[in-house]
Structure formats: structure tokens, C-alpha cells
Structure 1
Amino acid sequence: MKTAVSIPDPVFAKADRYARLVNKSRSQIFSEALREYLARHSPDEVTEAMDQALETIEEQRDSFVAKASERVLRQAEW
């Protein structure tokens, strides 16, 4: 979809230089930037990413580290 947006000149210039540097079109750069921004700021996507990270961590749980962590947490002053 084509659309028109206003972008400050310095931002446009940086995006243009970066696009040439990585051999991509400005449209690709702006699209990727917007996609990343939305992923970072969408609560559902942030929660989903955190859940996936925690699942990965849980799968790799080390019993020694878990016991040591519990010991440290019990001694910590809350």
C-alpha cells in the first residue's frame, strides 16, 4: 500500500543514507522500522515475546542454579 507521511528532514536523510548503505529501498527501511516499533510497543506482542523467552529459560533450567538462586532469594531482605 502506498501512503504519504511527513518525516523531518534529518530523519529522512539518515534513513536515505542507511538504505544506500545496506542496499535496501527507503520503503523497506521505513517498513522494517515501523514493524519493529509496533512489535516493541504492542502490549500483546511484548507479552508474547516475554512468554516465549521464559519458556526457553524454563526448558534450560539448571537445578544447581535454581537451588542457589532460591538460597540467595531467601536471604535477601525484601
Structure 2
Amino acid sequence: MKTAISIPDPIFAQAEQLAARMKISRSKLYVIALQKLLQEHHQEHITDQINDYIRDHGQPIDEVFVNSGLRELRQIEW
């Protein structure tokens, strides 16, 4: 798909330099940058959903993990 966007001159110049250093097209650079931004946003959204669940329902407790930690603590000489 083709699209037209407006980019401030300083950012455009930096993008041109980076694309040249990476030996990729300007279009490929923009695709990579957009993919990274979308992935970051998706991960932030998942984190927000987890935080909302914990806020609403409390922190889930993994009994196996807790018991394993307690066993380790009991073996430490205080």
C-alpha cells in the first residue's frame, strides 16, 4: 500500500542517513520503525490489562512458587 505522510525536515534527514547506513530503502526503514512502535504499544496494552486485573481481583498467588520460596528460606541459616 502506498501512502503520503508529512515528516518534519530534521526527522526526515535523520531517517535518510539511517536508511543509508543500514543499506535499506526509506520505505523499509519506516516499516521497521512503525512495526517497533506497534509492538511497543501492544506490549504496553497487555501490561495495562494485567495491571487492571490485579487491581480489580488482587495479585494471584502461585502456591508452588510460594512453597518453594519458603523451603529455600528455611534452609538458610539466620
- TM class, shorter-chain normalised? 0.5 to 0.7
- C-alpha distance in 2, partners of 1:7/1:31? 15
TM-superposed CA distance for 1:41, in Å, is: 0.8
The runs of 4+ residues in structure 1 deviating greater than 4 Å are none
Structure 2: runs of 5 or more not aligned: 49-67, 74-78
Q: Provide the alpha-carbon RMSD of the alignment.
A: 2.6
Structure 1: unaligned runs, 5 residues or longer: 48-65, 72-78
Task: Give the paired residue count.
Answer: 52
For normalisation by structure 1, the TM-score amounts to 0.56
Is the counterpart of residue 30 in structure 1 residue 34 in structure 2?
A: no
Work out the percentage of aligned pairs sharing the same amino acid.
41
Whichever residue aligns with residue 39 of structure 2, its letter is: A
TM-score (norm 2): 0.56
